Amino acid sequence: MIWRLRSRSRTICLSLAVVTASLYLLLLLASHSVDLQPCDALLPSKTHVLRDLAHQNLSPAGVQDSAATVHGNSSNRDASSEVRGHADQARKSVESGLSKLEALFNHPLYNLPCPPIPEEDLLLKVRPQVEASETNSQIWSDKGVPWSSNSGSHPPWLQFHLGISRWQLYPHQDPNMELLVQQLAKHRIVSAVQKSGGTQLKLVMSFPNYGQALFKPMKQERDEETNYNLYYFSDFERHNAEIAAFHLDRILGYRRIPPAVGRLVDVVKEIKNVTTDRKLARTFFTSPVGSVCFYGLCSYYCSTEHAVCGHPTGLEASLAVMLPDLSLAKRRSWRSPWRRSYSRSKLAKWETQSNYCAKVKKTPPYNEGTRLVDFMDMVILDFLMSNMDRHHYETFEKFGNYTFLLHLDNGRAFGRHSKDESSILAPLEQCCRIRRSTWLRLRLLSLPQYRLSDIMRASLSQDPLHRVAPLLSDPHLVALDRRLKTVLETVDHCQRRLSEVCFIVSWLQY
């Protein structure tokens, strides 16, 4: 009997203990869930904040008016303070990046000593032309326009042409670059005609000083990512990608992309009213909301459904300085050995053959000279900006196999920031070849004091269209750092995979 009472008491005590523990756990979970409840709205992204600021009147009067409007409304006042805080933070970030950019371009790796450029290493030169009235002068004629031998009288575009050498399009910290950029961004447009060839709409714009620029219009918002269901050859070209590619190419120390600048163009005054291209002129129309649109003639996306429209007449675009006319400087087009199949079902040879690079190394022009390491430079550029559309590249015929590759047509770059396309790095992974100066500059750009994303942000802030909105959103800039790390890891993997004797690092400076 006593044993039964003790057993019953023990059972009751255990039950009470379980109930007490359960209640304690419930209270603990309830309090924890309260702590995790969101109480503040998510902050807008920095890109959208800066875009909103670009459309506000930030003059002193405008600030006073805004302050008077929100006075007495604490929530609006807090929001305004928050926006100003983001703007201040963005400004400080750009200022810090500009100092990093200056330090980078002053670094010894970007100022390697080099001898004067021999005359045969210049693409163009002023050639003597003796006339009866000018026996002691030298003139050179381009487009039928005579220019004296005095370089100070040359317009910026001509100085750019005369500065092209065997190893680069323009010298490091070229003083002519600022004048050239101003011409592209501000000079009056006197003619606009459609450029033949290519798959999408492009125009050739002419200036009063006979300079010309390649025009690519804005077709989609900067932050709009490429649809994942689209193949790379079906994507739109982006005006901001052309501008960003020029800045990235310069930061990497290549200087193989013609200078490109953003510009807000008036569709009516600067295209429709000045064009002499009748086929282009027939494609202009006014949309139902009053915007002036045109679509031109091309292989893809040239129809009323894919028209380019102003707002109502203003249109963002990239303008890149044209290279010398083919009659003066012939270019040769080369098919990329790692060209994609451009098929929805077939794979290219480099995707299926394990020893593919060994075959390429034995094939001209990759079997001698600098062609292979020049190609690796282009591969690294394309991977950083996620450009999968490099099916061909060009060189100047004059320099043969010992010259740089032109990094042209970058409109399909910067399409996705959320995905890194590792297949672009296949040539580097398969060949394990890289130019030493490129490798050293990449390592430099991975350091905090020269972080690639900071320098790229600062460099792009100097473009005229930055006043409208940043040319690359923060996710794209973050992706640059991430991809740079991948490139360096790929090189490290090559070094580990092969012996130091077998791993080839080119010691060329250019």
Q: What is the DSSP string of 24-60?
A: HHHHHHHHHHHHTS--SPPPPPHHHHHHHHHTS--SH
- C-alpha span between 160 and 43 (Å, rounded): 45
Write the pLDDT tens digit of every residue in 260-296: 999 999 999 999 999 999 999 999 999 999 999 999 9
How confident is the model at residue 28, as a pLDDT?
39
Confidence of residue 7 (pLDDT cuts 50, 70, 90): low
Using the predicted structure, report yes or no on whether residue 233 has a pLDDT greater than 50. Answer: yes
Using the predicted structure, report yes or no on whether residue 2 has a pLDDT greater than 90. Answer: no
DSSP one-letter code for 268 = I
Average pLDDT value for the chain: 81
Mean pLDDT along residues 117-136? 69
CA-atom Rg of the chain in angstroms: 29
How confident is the model at residue 129, as a pLDDT?
53
Mean pLDDT along residues 499-509? 50
DSSP one-letter code for 165 = B
Using the predicted structure, report yes or no on whether residue 237 has a pLDDT greater than 60. Answer: yes
Write the pLDDT tens digit of every residue in 141-150: 444 455 555 6
Confidence of residue 228 (pLDDT cuts 50, 70, 90): low
CB–CB of 56/475 below 8 Å? no
Write the pLDDT tens digit of every residue in 442-500: 999 999 999 999 999 999 999 999 999 999 999 999 999 999 999 999 999 998 887 65
Which single residue is written with the structure tokens 């007495």? 72
Cis peptide before 312 (omega within 30 of 0): yes
Beta strand pairing status for 292-294 and 308-309? antiparallel
Q: How many CA atoms lie within 13 A of 368 on its CB side?
A: 4
- C-alpha span between 46 and 470 (Å, rounded): 10
Using the predicted structure, report yes or no on whether residue 506 has a pLDDT greater than 80. Answer: no
Q: What percent of the chain has pLDDT over 90?
A: 60
Using the predicted structure, report yes or no on whether residue 13 has a pLDDT greater than 60. Answer: no
How confident is the model at residue 136, as a pLDDT?
40
- C-alpha span between 217 and 210 (Å, rounded): 22
Using the predicted structure, report yes or no on whether residue 29 has a pLDDT greater than 80. Answer: no
Q: Which of these ranges, 77-81, 125-129, 173-177, 397-401, has the smallest mean pLDDT?
A: 77-81
Using the predicted structure, report yes or no on whether residue 310 has a pLDDT greater than 90. Answer: yes
Using the predicted structure, report yes or no on whether residue 24 has a pLDDT greater than 80. Answer: no
Confidence of residue 322 (pLDDT cuts 50, 70, 90): very high
CA distances from 61 to 56, 57, 69 (A): 12, 8, 12
- C-alpha span between 471 and 89 (Å, rounded): 18
Confidence of residue 15 (pLDDT cuts 50, 70, 90): low
More confident residue, 87 or 349: 349
In the chain, domain spans: 48-186+218-267+313-505
Provide the annotated binding site for ATP.
Answer: 200, 216, 237, 320-323, 394, 409
Q: Could you tell me which residues are beta bridge partners of residue 213?
A: 205, 321
How confident is the model at residue 168, as a pLDDT?
97
- Neighbouring C-beta atoms of residue 162, cutoff 10 Å: 20
More confident residue, 344 or 72: 344
- Neighbouring C-beta atoms of residue 321, cutoff 10 Å: 23
Mean pLDDT along residues 329-342? 92
More confident residue, 151 or 142: 151
How confident is the model at residue 146, as a pLDDT?
53
Closest among 236, 273, 263 to 467, alpha carbons compared: 263
Confidence of residue 17 (pLDDT cuts 50, 70, 90): low
- C-alpha span between 164 and 180 (Å, rounded): 14
Using the predicted structure, report yes or no on whether residue 339 has a pLDDT greater than 80. Answer: yes
Q: Reduced to 3 states, what is the DSSP secondary structure of residue 109?
A: helix
Using the predicted structure, report yes or no on whether residue 367 has a pLDDT greater than 90. Answer: yes
Beta strand pairing status for 314-321 and 212-217? antiparallel
Hey, which bits of 250-324 come out as E strands? 260-266, 285-286, 292-294, 308-309, 314-321
Concerning whether 492 is annotated as a catalytic residue, the answer is no
- C-alpha span between 133 and 310 (Å, rounded): 51
How confident is the model at residue 459, as a pLDDT?
97
Residue type, 475: P
Q: What is the pTM of this model?
A: 0.79
CB–CB of 380/429 below 8 Å? no
Alpha helices per DSSP H over 45-175: 46-54, 60-70, 74-105, 156-162
Task: Write down the catalytic residue from 235, 374, 389, 463.
Answer: 389
Q: Which of these ranges, 71-85, 323-337, 376-390, 434-448, has the smallest mean pLDDT?
A: 71-85
Using the predicted structure, report yes or no on whether residue 36 has a pLDDT greater than 90. Answer: no
Q: Reduced to 3 states, what is the DSSP secondary structure of residue 339?
A: coil
CB–CB of 218/352 below 8 Å? no
